[in-house]
Amino acid sequence: MSESETETETVGARIRAARLAQNMTQADLAEAVGVSRSAVAQWETERSGQVRGNLTRIASVLLVSVEHLLSGRASGAPVGPETATELALLRLYRTCTDDDRAFLLRTATRLARAADRERR
């Protein structure tokens, strides 16, 4: 087994690898998913059973599939933009400063939570 396979053989390790691939801190991921930073730390170190209830949100934020987080299979390759609008937003996001990206992530999180509350 190669070193890279060893590093990502658990759900927690795959969450960490995907988070780092997105240049996100644990705090960034926590805010986007709606949990505490310590919850993310616990997921990544396999100390918490609460990760399964959040896998869909985690995968969405990290642009990977739930299948990838659970199994590490190649079909969990990063998800690309599905529409021209998503692609435009992604391109604009990539041109922003780190502070502006954090602001956009906080704003998008608030908007998504509000939309989720309206759907209930």
Q: pLDDT per residue over 61-86, tens digit each?
A: 998 888 888 888 755 455 566 678 88
- Share the mean pLDDT of the chain: 82
CA distances from 29 to 3, 37, 60, 63, 91 (A): 25, 8, 11, 12, 20
Evaluate the CA torsion angle 95, 116, 29, 56 in order and state its sign: negative
Q: Give domain limits for the chain.
A: 1-79, 80-120
Q: What is the pTM of this model?
A: 0.57
Both tokens of 108, joined, read 């998008």
**What is the topology classification, in CATH, of domain 1-79?**
434 Repressor (Amino-terminal Domain) (1.10.260)
